[in-house]
Amino acid sequence: MMRKSLTFILTILLLLTVAACSGEQSDENNSDTSSNGESGQESSQQNEKDESTDNEQNKETLSIGDSGTFDTTIGKYKFTLDEVSFEKNVEGEESMAGVFVVTGVTIENKGDEPFTVNDVTSSLYVMNPETSTRDIPLAIGEMPKFEGEISPGESVEGKLFFDMEEDGDAYELQMNYVTKEGASGEAVWKFTTDEAAN
């Protein structure tokens, strides 16, 4: 009878020991999971911070007469906003929105491969920061289009027309591009009606 009691007590002690060890292992696993979660969150926050820093580094603010050089996925080029004027009508065509913003620009190929004018101008638009209205370049009547291929070392000049609402006196010519490394970039030429040619 005593032997059976002793066996029963030893069995209970063994079960308690196994249960205690299992509990400790579970706590360790939970601790590891929590640690990995925190590490993943920190990594995500660091990536977001790095992307934000890259975007800030690839943003330029310029004015009329300023040039920017951009090494992009379409090639390396220098873009200059030479002049700006505001016209109610161009070549007999009336502005539908209020006023034409006419920009004179120069594009120079600084790379080793040719690209087209449209490769660059398709990423341009004029924006009114006060109203957030914007417009992309458009063709005017019978005027020659600003287009064609630009060979390495060559530069071309032309005019781009944007039909904008006549609200406020501040405007921006904005260019979005992707760098060779795959980062997003933006260049902004800011100007006012007082700085325009007319």
Query: Do both 72 and 19 map to the same domain?
Result: no
Last residue within a domain, chosen from 29, 57, 85: 57
Query: Do both 186 and 110 map to the same domain?
Result: yes
Q: What is the pLDDT of residues 48-97, one digit of tens each?
A: 445 444 445 678 999 999 999 999 999 999 999 999 999 999 988 999 99
Query: Do both 71 and 109 map to the same domain?
Result: yes
Query: Do both 66 and 111 map to the same domain?
Result: yes
Query: Do both 140 and 109 map to the same domain?
Result: yes
For residue 49, give its domain range. 1-57
CA 90 to centroid of chain Cα atoms: 33
118 — pLDDT class (breaks 50, 70, 90): very high
Query: Do both 35 and 111 map to the same domain?
Result: no
* Number of compact structural domains in the chain: 2
Q: What is the pLDDT of residues 135-168, one digit of tens each?
A: 999 988 777 789 999 999 999 999 999 999 988 8
Entry pTM: 0.72
Supply φ then ψ for residue 10, to 5 degrees. -65, -40
* Position 185, amino acid: G
